[in-house]
Copies of this chain bind each other. A is one copy, B any other.
Amino acid sequence: MASETSRRPAFAKWLGDTNDVTQIFLSAGQIPGLINMAGGLPDPQTWPIKAMSDLAAKAVQDHPTDALAYAPIEGLPALRDLIAARFSAPGLLLSRENVLITSGGMQGLDLIGKVLLEEGSLIAAQTPAYLGALDAWRPRRPSYRPMRLDANDFAPETALHGTQFAYTVPNFSNPTGRLVPLADRQALVAAAQATGTWLIEDDPYGTLYYDSAPLARMLTLAATGGAYDGPVIYLGTLSKELAPGFRVGWVIAAPEMIQALVMAKQGSDMSTSGIGQRITLDAFASGLTDSILPNILNLYRDRRDALCAAMRTHLADLFDWQTPEGGMFVWATARNPALNTDHLLRAALANGTCITPSSVFDPTGQNRRAIRINFTFNPPEKLTEGIRRLATATRACLAEAA
């Protein structure tokens, strides 16, 4: 058998471009007592289990065709209509033709890669960029033009020119937690309209505003009063509004883009889970998602505050950061450029905690100076202890580098 397996065909080249951070995280699951601040997970206590159990039973019993048959590739018509209505706004007319239901928000990224990228195609990406987007597009082997939206000399038209699309997470970016201001949103939409390129608005955290009212979506800013045909491709997900386990997300875009994505989805997984779609429809229509949001916001706001308080106590001399106004993450940059945060991850694990190093959010893998810290999954006392351990690990790591 050794000779057979050694003669096997080569794997696709992109598989050689991944890093080993995921493997490190997986083995981290084995460490007893670990305080994991690396993920991007909701707290299960936010889930209305009894209500969802009832919805699941009703989905099968009352709507067996919706729940049990192959759904249309595009998604259940009633769910597409509901999403269209939910995201319509004055001047923004959305209909079923603007909506594709996906198997989680991640699948929207995969499908966009399939329909818009050839090897070497150029993406303008808000950087640091969401790791999952880099993962989704890696099999297409694109090139990246980093966009630093907060740089003083950022020029949107120049950034978007000649790209297949621009990728942004305007609401509390993963990993930086940054909120893109309204003026910058307007400038990005204007640049997309001027250059003709597509503009992705990936919005998993759009409901998680802790301190203020939500800013206008770029999707809304791109409206021109008629049936929507604009350059913004909006990605939403149920994962943060209700629960991730149903794997339901949605893409809102111009009809020609939806049609192309449908071709890609047909060959990817045929259709999204019918039972998941039916539960989503009923959870939105019954007001369940809206009813649990205040509790989610209170819980996560308290945790953000606890995390940032602990950081001020234990990390003030080691890192710089800004308190995010929403989302799930704090982004912290080492004050000492000698700190390599890939090494810090290993030191943190040795000290019983876990964060995500910046290298995985950089398309070039170069950024080794920052970390992403999640605050939604752990209660305040665990976050405080996690930060204490992280401070110990950081000092150990700096001592080793010196």
Contacts and interface: CB of A to CB of B under 8 A. Distances in A.
A320 interface: no
Given A59-B56, A269-B269, A68 B243 contact: yes
Interface of A is mostly: helix
Interface stretch (A84-92, A207-215, A270-278, A300-308): A270-278
A60 B243 CA distance: 11
Nearest to A105: B270
Interface stretch (A259-267, A327-335, A378-386): A259-267
A135 to B, nearest CB: 3
Interface stretch (A109-117, A290-298, A348-356, A357-365): A109-117
Contacts of A5: 196, 229, 254, 256
A224 interface: yes
A151 to B, nearest CB: 24
A117 B12 contact: yes
Contacts of A276: 273, 275-276
A263 B15 contact: yes
B273 A273 contact: yes
Contacts of A11: 115-116, 260
A173 interface: no
A198 interface: yes
A204 B311 CA distance: 54
Given A70-B244, A268-B136, A9 B116 contact: yes
B56 A69 contact: no
A71 B44 CA distance: 13
Interface residues of A, number: 89
Interface stretch (A47-55, A177-185, A394-402): A47-55
Contacts of A119: 119
A220 interface: no
Contacts of A52: 60, 68
A274 B245 contact: yes
Nearest to A135: B267
Contacts of A254: 5
Contact of A47 (B3, B50, B68, B138): B68
Nearest to A42: B69
Contact of A197 (B3, B6, B8): B8
Nearest to A262: B22
Nearest to A64: B49
Contacts of A243: 68-69
A276 B59 CA distance: 13
26 contacts: A5-B229, A8-B231, A9-B163, A9-B164, A11-B260, A12-B115, A12-B117, A13-B118, A44-B64, A44-B65, A53-B57, A56-B57, A57-B57, A68-B244, A70-B244, A103-B269, A106-B267, A107-B269, A114-B139, A119-B119, A135-B267, A136-B267, A246-B273, A247-B270, A269-B269, A273-B273
Interface of A: 1, 3-9, 11-13, 15, 18, 22, 41, 44, 47, 49-50, 52-54, 56-61, 64-71, 103-104, 106-107, 109-110, 114-119, 132, 135-139, 163-165, 193, 195-198, 224, 229-231, 239, 243-247, 254, 256, 260, 263-264, 266-276, 279
